[in-house]
Structure 1
Amino acid sequence: MTVLKAFVVPGESAERVALPAGGAFSLLADASDTAGALGANRLTLGAGRDGATLHYHARSTELFYVLDGALDFVLGEERVTLTKGGLVVVPPHLPHAFGAAPGTGADLLAVLTPGVDRYGYFRQLGRIQHGLEPFDSLLPEQERYDVHFVDASGGQ
């Protein structure tokens, strides 16, 4: 008989990847933690800061839940601003981007399902945001992390 066990992450134990302007990724669950079911992270952005350049996921659906503040989303051809309590579900292959709305910060929960091991991706993004690596260093990793950039220059 298989013994089932929940995956639990106390808030204070999540790895934190610092971003400029007081932002951070909190790495909550990677695919390897959930038998591939999902990956989850919390993202805090400073006022008006970009969260992600235009990209899509070929294999996964992504859910965003706004915990606080306001987020501007690009969802294909649509532009939407969501505030606390707002939810977006992005299907595979839909190009999307997001960032904190001008003049406000944002705090969001992001869940990718099925999961992809992406902790390395978030760590690399942190180094890029701090100017320690070029954006182009992510380009060879697009398939591995299921993050496919629409503009290969990453808008950087």
Structure 2
Amino acid sequence: MTLPIKEIVLAPGEGNHLIIGNSEVTFKVVGADTHGHLGLFENLIQPGGTAPELHIHRQMEEMFYVLEGEVEIQVGERIVQGQPGAFVLVPRNTPHTFSNRGTKPAKLLIMFCPAGEREKYFEGLAELLKEGNKPSREALVDLMRRFDQEPVT
């Protein structure tokens, strides 16, 4: 028997925070909260901040919604200059990445469906990058592959 999903109410700024390089991720909802159906994270990206390399997910869709600033989002061959209110759906197996190439901080929501334990990828990345560490390519790719993220070379 599946237990019911419990309501979650978070005020602005609430949720578990992680520092990843010079960006900050706040978990609003993780897979454990929704029986793995979805996860929703807020990402505050400083100008030139930490950004993922071009990658795909084989088991999940990913969605981006820009809240503040400007976020450059590549989905497939298309590059979108996302302003507040912009939305991008990334289907499975579609190469994508995002970055803040502007001069001001940017904030976006990132949703994963299904979520699985996607937050563990971000936790692992924060650990690899803490205190300015530069992890090996092998360590980064190993982390990516454990959480349904495959680099596109």
Query: Structure 1-normalised TM-score?
Result: 0.84
User: How far does residue 32 in structure 1 lie from its aligned partner after superposition?
Assistant: 1.9
Separation in structure 1 between the aligned mates of residue 115 and residue 99 of structure 2, nearest angstrom: 22
CA deviations on 1:17-69 (whole Å, 9 max, x unpaired) are 11344x30102222122111111111001013242210111011111000100
1:105 aligned residue: 105
User: How far does residue 95 in structure 1 lie from its aligned partner after superposition?
Assistant: 0.4
User: How far does residue 102 in structure 1 lie from its aligned partner after superposition?
Assistant: 2.7
User: Where in structure 1 do 4 or more consecutive aligned residues deviate above 6 Å?
Assistant: none
Residues 74-85 of structure 1: pairs in structure 2 closer than 5 A? 74-85=74-85
2:53 aligned residue: 53
Structure 1 position 14 matched with structure 2 position 19: no
Give the counterpart letter for 1:107 in structure 2. Answer: K
Aligned-residue CA RMSD in angstroms? 2.2
User: How far does residue 121 in structure 1 lie from its aligned partner after superposition?
Assistant: 1.1
Residues 28-47 of structure 1: pairs in structure 2 closer than 5 A? 28-47=28-47
Structure 1 position 137 matched with structure 2 position 125: no
User: How far does residue 133 in structure 1 lie from its aligned partner after superposition?
Assistant: 5.7
67-76 or 6-15: which moved more?
A: 6-15
| 2:21–2:50 Cα contact (<8 Å) kept | no
Task: Could you tell me which runs of 5 or more consecutive residues in structure 1 were left unpaired when the two chains were aligned.
Answer: 152-156
Compared CA separation, residues 48 and 139, structure 1 to 2 (3 A):
closer
Query: Structure 2-normalised TM-score?
Result: 0.85
User: How far does residue 140 in structure 1 lie from its aligned partner after superposition?
Assistant: 2.3
